[in-house]
Amino acid sequence: MPATFTKSTLLLSLLLGLTQFQAQAATAPSPAALATRLGIPNPAVIAHRGASFDAPESTAAAYKTARDLGADYLELDLQRSKDGVLFALHDNNLQRTTDVATKFPERKDSPANAFTMAELKTLDAGSWFNTAYPDRARPSFAGLKILTLDEIIDIAQGNPLHQPGLYIETKEPKQFPGIEHDLKMKLQDRGWLSPAGSKLGKSELAVGQGKGKVVLQTFEKSSLELLQKEMPKVPKILLLWVGEGNIEPASKVAFAESGEKDKAAYYAKQQPKDKAEFHRWVDYAKAQGAIGTGPSAALTKGGDQSYADLVQPWMNQYTHDQGMLVHVYTVDDAVDYQKVMDAGVDGIFTNRAAELLKFYKRPAAASVGQVLQNNGY
Q: Which residues bind Ca ion (CB under 5 A)?
A: 77, 169
User: Quick check: 57 and 97 in contact, CB under 8 A?
Assistant: yes
CA 58, CA 41: separation in Å to the nearest integer? Answer: 22
| Residues 164-183 contacting ligand G3P, CB under 6 A | 169
Distances (CA, A) of 185 to 127, 182, 188, 323: 33, 5, 5, 29
Radius of gyration of the chain (CA): 22
- Contact with ligand G3P (CB under 6 A): which of 85, 187, 239, 371? 239
- Residue closer to Ca ion by CB (options 48, 67) is 48
- Residue closer to Ca ion by CB (options 68, 77) is 77
| Contact flag: residue 246 with ligand G3P (CB under 6 A) | no
Coil, helix or strand for 14? helix
- Residue closer to ligand G3P by CB (options 67, 90) is 90
CA dihedral 241, 245, 250, 251 (to 10 degrees): 110
Q: Tell me how far, at minimum, the Cβ of 123 lies from ligand G3P, in Å.
A: 20
| Contact flag: residue 220 with ligand G3P (CB under 6 A) | no
Q: Tell me how far, at minimum, the Cβ of 110 lies from Ca ion, in Å.
A: 21
- Residue closer to Ca ion by CB (options 50, 249) is 50
**Chain centroid offset of residue 137 CA:** 26
User: Quick check: 73 and 207 in contact, CB under 8 A?
Assistant: yes
User: Quick check: 180 and 227 in contact, CB under 8 A?
Assistant: yes
CA 194, CA 160: separation in Å to the nearest integer? Answer: 19
Q: Could you say which of Ca ion, ligand G3P, none residue 54 binds, taking C-beta under 5 to 8 angstroms by partner kind?
A: none
| Contact flag: residue 141 with ligand G3P (CB under 6 A) | no
Beta bridge mates, 272: 249
At 164, give phi and psi (nearest 5°): -75, 165
- Residue closer to ligand G3P by CB (options 58, 65) is 58
User: Quick check: 166 and 76 in contact, CB under 8 A?
Assistant: yes
Selection from 45, 54, 51, 50 nearest residue 72 by Cα: 45
User: Quick check: 24 and 17 in contact, CB under 8 A?
Assistant: no
User: Quick check: 100 and 89 in contact, CB under 8 A?
Assistant: no
| Residues 48-107 contacting ligand G3P, CB under 6 A | 48, 77, 90
Q: Tell me how far, at minimum, the Cβ of 97 lies from ligand G3P, in Å.
A: 13
CA 85, CA 87: separation in Å to the nearest integer? Answer: 6
- Contact with ligand G3P (CB under 6 A): which of 208, 294, 295, 347? 294
Q: Could you say which of Ca ion, ligand G3P, none residue 329 binds, taking C-beta under 5 to 8 angstroms by partner kind?
A: ligand G3P
**What residue is closest to ligand G3P based on CB?**
329
Q: Could you say which of ligand G3P, Ca ion, none residue 152 binds, taking C-beta under 5 to 8 angstroms by partner kind?
A: none
- Contact with ligand G3P (CB under 6 A): which of 65, 163, 217, 350? 217
Distances (CA, A) of 140 to 56, 351, 353, 368: 11, 20, 21, 15
- Residue closer to ligand G3P by CB (options 278, 349) is 349
| Contact flag: residue 329 with ligand G3P (CB under 6 A) | yes
| Contact flag: residue 349 with ligand G3P (CB under 6 A) | yes
Q: Tell me how far, at minimum, the Cβ of 77 lies from Ca ion, in Å.
A: 5
User: How many positions of this chain bind ligand G3P (CB under 6 A)?
Assistant: 10
Residues that bind ligand G3P (CB under 6 A): 48, 77, 90, 169, 217, 239, 294, 329-330, 349
